[in-house]
């Protein structure tokens, strides 16, 4: 009887801990993406623990998860902060990202196989479902996953690591981008064209699509972001 009681507890307890951490991380992500925790702001563990009604242990696990996701950064001697964001950052990131993504497709083009195509299609479907559901935060994560596909299949580890380093600021940018255009999630048509080109046979057409994909709506978003940064909030 006692062994029957302990066995399910051993299976269930880790799931509960993981879910609790993920719930805290999701709440923190919402605060960051909404601008309530502004870019560059310091994370005060005591305040957040009190706000969420949790102990420091699961909160720190959630913070580590968001550091891995690129939304938080640990600064020596000053603690953990929301990743900072400026117009200069965004312009540099997107000029770099354009070059990186073109290079990634040049690397992957002759390596594309059924595994790559199936994975790209699956991630595209995930993104479309998030857009249809009006889930802005999930659509940002799914958009990130979709664009990550080419880097993950490129066979170039340093390229992948460089891309991963851009994730946090990209998520903040996309949150501002969606608000600038008055929608929850990216425009489906833009990613349909991107995926069609990635599945196609013309590398030059893919390179053209990457450049156009990056430029769509960028001027309006920059104006929105500039106004948001002046007020200190991405809202």
- Identify the CATH number of the domain in which residue 32 sits: 1.10.10.10
Split into its structural domains, the chain has a count of 2
Which of 82, 106, 133 is a domain's end point? 82
Whether residue 77 is found in the same domain as residue 110 = no
Whether residue 222 is found in the same domain as residue 160 = yes
- pLDDT for res 10: 41
Whether residue 166 is found in the same domain as residue 145 = yes
Whether residue 12 is found in the same domain as residue 98 = no
Whether residue 74 is found in the same domain as residue 93 = no
pLDDT tens for each residue of the chain, 235 residues long: 444 554 444 443 443 445 688 889 889 988 888 778 888 899 999 999 999 888 888 999 999 989 988 889 998 989 999 988 778 887 888 889 999 999 999 999 999 999 999 999 999 999 999 999 988 888 889 999 999 999 999 999 999 999 998 888 888 878 777 766 665 556 777 899 999 999 999 999 999 999 998 887 666 667 766 776 554 544 4
- pLDDT for res 5: 52
- The 10 Å Cβ neighbour count of residue 165 is 11
Q: Which residues, at least 6 apart from 105, have a Cβ–Cβ distance to it below 8 Å?
A: 150, 198, 203, 206, 207, 210
- pLDDT for res 128: 95
Whether residue 134 is found in the same domain as residue 207 = yes
Task: Count Cα neighbours of 17 within 13 Å in the Cβ-side half-sphere.
Answer: 10
- pLDDT for res 92: 85
- pLDDT for res 180: 65
Whether residue 99 is found in the same domain as residue 122 = yes
Whether residue 49 is found in the same domain as residue 128 = no
- pLDDT for res 18: 55
Whether residue 43 is found in the same domain as residue 59 = yes
Q: b vs e for 90-121, b when ≥16 Cβ sit within 10 Å of the residue's Cβ?
A: beebbeebbebbbbbbebbbeeeeeebeeebe
Which of 38, 65, 82 is a domain's end point? 82
Rounded CA-CA distance 135/141 in Å is 10
- pLDDT for res 124: 97
Whether residue 136 is found in the same domain as residue 111 = yes
What is the domain extent for residue 120?
87-231
């Amino acid at each position: 009887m006692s062994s029957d009681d302990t066995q399910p507890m051993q299976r269930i307890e880790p799931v509960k801990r993981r879910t609790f951490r993920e719930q805290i991380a999701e709440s923190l992500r919402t605060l960051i993406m909404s601008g309530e925790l502004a870019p560059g702001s310091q994370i005060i563990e005591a305040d957040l623990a009190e706000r969420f009604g949790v102990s420091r242990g699961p909160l720190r696990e959630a913070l580590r998860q968001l550091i891995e996701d690129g939304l938080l950064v640990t600064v020596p001697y000053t603690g953990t902060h929301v990743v900072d964001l400026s117009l200069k950052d965004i312009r540099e990131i997107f000029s770099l990202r354009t070059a990186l993504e073109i290079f990634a497709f040049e690397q992957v083009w002759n390596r594309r196989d059924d595994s790559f195509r199936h994975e790209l299609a699956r991630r595209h479907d995930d993104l479309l479902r998030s857009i249809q559901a009006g889930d802005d935060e999930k659509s940002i994560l799914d958009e990130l996953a979709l664009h990550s596909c080419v880097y993950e299949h490129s066979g170039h580890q340093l390229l992948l690591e460089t891309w991963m380093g851009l994730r946090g600021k990209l998520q903040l940018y996309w949150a501002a981008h969606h608000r600038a255009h008055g929608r929850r999630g990216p425009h489906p048509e833009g990613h349909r064209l991107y995926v069609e080109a990635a599945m196609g046979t013309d590398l030059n057409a893919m390179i053209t699509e990457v450049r156009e994909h990056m430029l769509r709506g960028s001027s309006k978003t920059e104006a929105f972001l500039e106004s948001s940064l002046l007020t200190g909030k991405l809202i």
